[in-house]
């Protein structure tokens, strides 16, 4: 089986940097994904890490440490439109299992 743990809520200030952590326990680990979901919307794919290290895509970066079963999503230069829920996810065989999500609140 597998489980993913991430904080339920995080609050940050506009223009700042925030890190959302995810720890996982899973058999047959293939990689860690991140999804963003705005209120009332559908989840959208942000990033995927199969190997250790940092992957950067614009203001967003994602990190993975396979030895620590840990990853994080880093959001820089926060904007109000980044207010959303963020989910980490792992693949088990032919399906993807999601964490319960982190609600990101951004203060002006």
Q: Footprint of other proteins on this chain (CB under 8 A)?
A: 8, 30-31, 33, 35, 41-46, 48, 50, 87, 91, 93-101
In the complex with other proteins, which residue's Cβ is closer, 2 or 77?
2
In the complex with other proteins, which residue's Cβ is closer, 31 or 74?
31
b/e sequence 42-73, b meaning 16+ C-beta within 10 Å? ebeebbebeeeeebeeeebbbbbeeeebebbb
Give the DSSP letter of residue 81.
Answer: G
Q: How far is the CB of 61 from other proteins (least distance, A)?
A: 16
Q: How far is the CB of 17 from other proteins (least distance, A)?
A: 24
Q: How far is the CB of 20 from other proteins (least distance, A)?
A: 14
End-to-end CA distance of the chain: 41
């Amino acid at each position: 089986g597998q489980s993913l743990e991430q904080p339920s809520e995080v609050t940050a200030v506009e223009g700042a940097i925030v890190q959302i952590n995810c720890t996982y326990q899973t058999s047959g680990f293939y990689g860690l994904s991140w999804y963003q979901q705005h209120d009332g919307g559908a989840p959208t794919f942000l990033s995927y890490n199969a190997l250790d290290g940092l992957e950067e895509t614009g203001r967003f970066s994602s990190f993975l440490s396979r030895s620590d079963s840990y990853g994080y999503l880093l959001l820089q230069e926060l904007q109000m439109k980044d207010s959303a829920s963020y989910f980490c996810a792992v693949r088990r065989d032919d399906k993807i299992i999601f964490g319960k999500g982190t609600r990101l609140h951004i203060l002006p």
